[in-house]
Structure 1
Amino acid sequence: MIRLFSFLFAICFLLSACTTAPKGPENAVNLTAQLEKVAEVQQWQMRGKIAFRQGKDAASLNLVWKNDFGDFDFRLTNFLGVSLVNLSVDQKQSVLEADGETYVDALPEPLIYRITGMVIPVEPLLSWVKGLPLKGDKYTLTEKGLVNTLESYCQGCRNWQVTYGNYGSIELEGDTSVWLPHSITLTQNETPNMPKTQLKIKIYQWTL
């Protein structure tokens, strides 16, 4: 485990928060219309918590993630609101600030791997967190017609399984709405070079 992840695991502990989880739709959803609406959501912000687990190590942090057509700011804070990790990505570069140091790379994936040792498929994740499968992904549906589980297919991001829960209705412009998940679990099983990795995201607020 390299230094940044060791730093996070050393200073963080699991926190709990009382929130009312959305109950999802009462009636079946038109999947085609739902996925079309989700695909159009390119500017969003989520607030919540993210729990990391890799092998026997675990940590939980507050999360604020802002996305603007693929340019994004991903910030992790402790329970006092102090920023511990900030990853900013635009078309020119990716900058990660943590533990008083700044790291730069052209792309976020190699930067995250260099600092944390984790292989995170950042671009697919921008779609997955919204409950949007990518071309080739295998997925199952809930009884109401929303994406329930997803198995990744894209080259370089295989072996990820995604599980969704607690969909809530989020308002869009024009008096319409879209269903977005408020509970997401991403799992990558153990490989010869990497222990089992799991990310759990609990979203308290979506802002579109």
Structure 2
Amino acid sequence: MSLKSLIALMVLTPLLLLGCSSVPQSTLPVQWQQHQKTLQQIDQFQVTGKLGYISPEERQSLNFFWHHQPYYSELRLTTVLGQTALKLAISPDGARITTYEDDVFEGQDATSLIYRLTGLRIPVTQLPAWLLGLPQDEQQFTLNDQNTLASLTAESTRQGVTRAPWHIAYQRYRDIDVNGERLPLPSKLQLTQGDIKLNIVITKWTVTP
């Protein structure tokens, strides 16, 4: 079975969209400039959650685990049955994907490599900052009533080709304990690019400041 075929077996379920309903939503107000500075100082974190992918051609549901460090990131995608679909490692040397059959594929651009192997457009290069709720340079954004990120628009260029921008809507936050302090971090967000939607529900944050 090919990697695309394995992932194609997964159908988006309502559980993905409701998976965060029992988690208390953050109502902690922040001062944006200070909050932004705090987020910028986070260089190591682990995130566990669910990813729903919707396009005109397919609807997929996967579990994910992301381990991010300054010079190394690892993304693991598993099916709803717990079978590992792929492991992605990103370093200064490029991107490497190991499939469930232990086949290894390498490339310089992680986003393009995932798309080539799975057909899924996942902006893995930008995701570490977006998962934190942190806009990057020249990205347009709005804030909510708690002064955390409400929405974000980011231009998209891959291999020199300009594509439709990504729009990120932050739908829910939860308070995470970081060194004894409460820090509101995203727990539910939706990424949209043209007719593609990625629904992300984060069930666990582990932050190392």
Compute the TM-score of the two structures, normalised by the length of structure 2.
Answer: 0.84
Q: Partner residue of 1:185?
A: 190
The offset of 1:155, in angstroms, is: 4.8
The offset of 1:128, in angstroms, is: 0.9
Q: Partner residue of 2:48?
A: 47
For the 8 Å contact 1:152–1:158, the answer to whether it is kept is no
For the 8 Å contact 2:86–2:97, the answer to whether it is kept is yes
Q: What is the distance in 2 between the residues matched to 1:178 and 1:34?
A: 8
Q: Which letter maps to 1:145?
A: N
With 79-88 and 128-137 compared, the bigger mean Cα shift is at 79-88
Q: What is the distance in 2 between the residues matched to 1:163 and 1:53?
A: 15
Q: What is the distance in 1 between the residues matched to 2:181 and 2:156?
A: 31
Q: Partner residue of 2:7?
A: 8
Q: Which letter maps to 2:167?
A: Q
The offset of 1:15, in angstroms, is: 6.2
User: Structure 2: which 5+ runs fail to align?
Assistant: none
For the 8 Å contact 1:21–1:166, the answer to whether it is kept is no
Question: What secondary structure does 1:115 align onto?
Answer: helix
Task: For residues 119-167 of structure 1, give each alpha carbon's deviation from its aligned partner in whole angstroms, at most 9, with x where no partner exists.
Answer: 5433222101110011111111111111111111365475100011221
User: Structure 1: which 5+ runs fail to align?
Assistant: 190-195
For the 8 Å contact 1:74–1:88, the answer to whether it is kept is yes
Q: Partner residue of 1:164?
A: 170
Q: Partner residue of 1:207?
A: 206
Greater fraction of residues in strand: 2
Question: CA-atom RMSD, angstroms?
Answer: 2.2
Q: What is the distance in 2 between the residues matched to 1:163 and 1:149?
A: 5
1:176 matched to 2:181: yes
Q: How does 1:1-208 map to 2 (within 5 A)?
A: 4-14=3-13, 16=15, 17=19, 20-26=22-28, 28-100=29-101, 101-153=103-155, 155-156=157-158, 159-173=165-179, 175-189=180-194, 196-208=195-207
Task: For residues 173-205 of structure 1, give each alpha carbon's deviation from its aligned partner in whole angstroms, at most 9, with x where no partner exists.
Answer: 3x333211000111100xxxxxx2111110011
Give the percent of matched residue pairs that are identical in Structure 1 and Structure 2.
Answer: 25
Question: What secondary structure does 2:40 align onto?
Answer: helix
Question: What secondary structure does 1:29 align onto?
Answer: coil
Compute the TM-score of the two structures, normalised by the length of structure 1.
Answer: 0.84
